[in-house]
Chain A
Amino acid sequence: MQDSEIQKELTEKEEQSAVAKVFNYRLVKEKTAGGLMYILTIASLVLVVVMGIGLYLKSAPIFEEHSLGELIFSSNWRPLKGQFGFMPFIAGTVWVTVVAVLWVLPISLLTAIFLTEYAKSYVKKYVFPALDILAGLPSVIYGVWGTLLIIPWISNKFAPHFVDFSTGYTVLAGGIVLGVMILPLLVSLFIEIFSSLPTELRDASTSLGATKWQTSKKVVLKKSFPGIMASVVLAISRAMGETIAILMVCGNLPEVPRSILDACYPIPALIANNYGEMLSLPQYEAALMFAALILFVVVLVFNVISRVILYRVEKSYA
């Protein structure tokens, strides 16, 4: 009897305080808004996870008949016969990306050093908008540029020195186009890293009689090495996912390329090219979703590693 009375009293008190809270609607607004925004913010993380799970579930049927090793290392791509070897596509992606990074890394490093260490502000006033334009141009425009200029150049001028005949739709073409596409990203990441380096370090070096280049080489480049590596990894992951431009210039033959003058067929091009047909064969759809899953996982891992390193770099000098 007494217990229930106390209980009653307690609930009444609770109700009263709840009523008081409701009346302070400004605080309620603050809290609900906060809660909603918290959900929105966390949704980003959820989206990453859901994407991974969704792609895995969709590609699961293919694991029933093929092992992971077989899928990745086999070169037999005959979807109609149920053979799904992804080696040609993985090799194509790696070849194109390596070619792109190899030629564009020295150029972007030199440009970034030039802009942070040497250039006067009026030079920057012209270079930055140019980089902006490069960064803003859509993938398909790079593809058109590739087919207009790069393909004929390879086919008529470059390839005849090495092979009898080339259509121009090659690893090299993909590498060149992709390189130009990641150039602005690399330059802007490098500039950010170099300019976060304290000026005192440079002053110390020059006061010992080092020239500007010696300072750049032995202080700036050396100090920012982790950041440079992280940027390159980030650029690689960007390059691997590029689709339309690559689709337009790579030739799209499902064979492992043996030289940079062979055609290749990177993973994104495979997905984009076959999406219409894939619904007719469940295994085929699963295979293409597996291709998307490979891309997703590699890009995810590369991005997390490089971003964490870049955050640290940013923080250490901030």
Chain B
Amino acid sequence: MKHFEEQMMRFLMFVATLIVFGFVFSIVYAILKQGWGSMSWDMITKLPGGGFYIGKEGGFLNAIVGSLYIVGASTILGLIISIPVVFFLNVYLKSQSKTAYIARLAYDVLFGIPSIVYGAFGFTIMIYFGLRTSVLGGIIVITLLIIPIFIRSMDEVARNFPRDILDATYSLGATRWETIAVVLRQIAPGIATATLLSIGRAIGDAAAVLFTSGYSDSIPTSLSQPAATLPLAVFFQLSSPIKEVQNRAYAAALVLTIIVLILSILGRLISSKFSKNKL
């Protein structure tokens, strides 16, 4: 009897894992198939032309560039803010510290807060300061959104950082601040994977930029202009009743998926390369 149960559960587990695989293939295949059919060179090299939204010519270069601007800027800002925090949590504070516990909890909670709430909150802040929907607003909100991801994923790596190395630098007379060079070198692969993870989240997020960076048909030339982003390009164009416009949504979805897949593969490569010869 117990062996029958064992066999049955084994079978069920196998099926469950297959289902997981099935979903991955189903999603990627659906997007690739639908997107490839509607993909063309014009889509990714041209701005929306006249009558774009009734199916006339043009592409979504504005969304690609807008996404790159916002993601690029917020990734750099995110790195600048989160590296010191991770360093502080792991070097300045003791591992039993209450402050560290509360800060980690706060970052985990921030990580869990939905992007739509970030969007709504960012929107109210922008109104308070008299800002309109703009690249700047998008950058600020996306930076807030990805900082918790940055910090928590770098922190995971930094926590396993060998304390002996710190002691060695102290014994050479270094202050805690001066160990930063050593620590950064040690957690570099962690920083790299955290960056890729954050870029992935930042480029795919639609709910937060919906409120804050808005949408526009041209490439922004200053921080105060609104900008289009890829997820919103997919979302808005898919809701159109016109076939050609919908096809553009599929093409934009394809671009977005390919970017995310590349990021995911890069992340795997980096972590597997560095986990082999970790200290």
Complex-state Cα separation, A301 to B252, whole angstroms? 37
Q: Which of B13, B102, B238, B249 has the most CB of A within 10 A?
A: B13
**A204 located at the interface, meaning its Cβ lies under 8 Å from any Cβ of chain B in the complex:** no
Complex-state Cα separation, A48 to B206, whole angstroms? 21
Segment 155-173 of A: residues with Cβ below 8 Å from B: none
Q: Which of A140, A237, A275, A302 has the most CB of B within 10 A?
A: A140
The stretch of A12-20, A210-218, A256-264 in contact with B is A210-218
The size of the chain A interface, using a CB distance under 8 A, is: 86
**A58 located at the interface, meaning its Cβ lies under 8 Å from any Cβ of chain B in the complex:** yes
A48-B109, A144-B234 as given contacts; A127 in contact with B175, CB under 8 Å: no
Chain B residues within an 8 Å CB radius of A183 = 20, 23
**A240 located at the interface, meaning its Cβ lies under 8 Å from any Cβ of chain B in the complex:** yes
**A300 located at the interface, meaning its Cβ lies under 8 Å from any Cβ of chain B in the complex:** yes
Q: Select which of A136, A140, A242 is within 8 A of B231 by beta carbon.
A: A140
**A106 located at the interface, meaning its Cβ lies under 8 Å from any Cβ of chain B in the complex:** yes
Distance in Å from the Cβ of B108 to the closest Cβ of chain A? 5
Complex-state Cα separation, A140 to B14, whole angstroms? 29
Segment 132-168 of B: residues with Cβ below 8 Å from A: 144, 147-148, 151
A115-B17, A127-B17, A133-B24 as given contacts; A243 in contact with B207, CB under 8 Å: yes
B114 in contact with A299 (CB, 8 Å)? yes
A145 in contact with B26 (CB, 8 Å)? yes
A299 in contact with B113 (CB, 8 Å)? yes
Question: Chain B interface secondary structure, helix, strand, loop or mixed?
Answer: helix
**A199 located at the interface, meaning its Cβ lies under 8 Å from any Cβ of chain B in the complex:** no
Chain A residues within an 8 Å CB radius of B92 = 34, 37-38
Chain B residues within an 8 Å CB radius of A275 = 120, 123, 210-211
B interface with A by C-beta (< 8 Å): 2-3, 5-6, 9-10, 12-17, 19-21, 23-24, 26-28, 30-31, 34, 81, 84-85, 87-89, 92, 99, 101-103, 105-110, 112-117, 119-121, 123-125, 144, 147-148, 151, 175-178, 197, 200, 203-207, 210-211, 231, 234-235, 238, 249-250, 253, 256-257, 260-261, 263-265, 267-268
A-B residue pairs in contact (CB < 8 Å), sample of 13: A30-B178, A36-B84, A42-B99, A106-B16, A113-B13, A129-B264, A130-B24, A131-B20, A133-B264, A136-B263, A144-B234, A241-B115, A292-B117
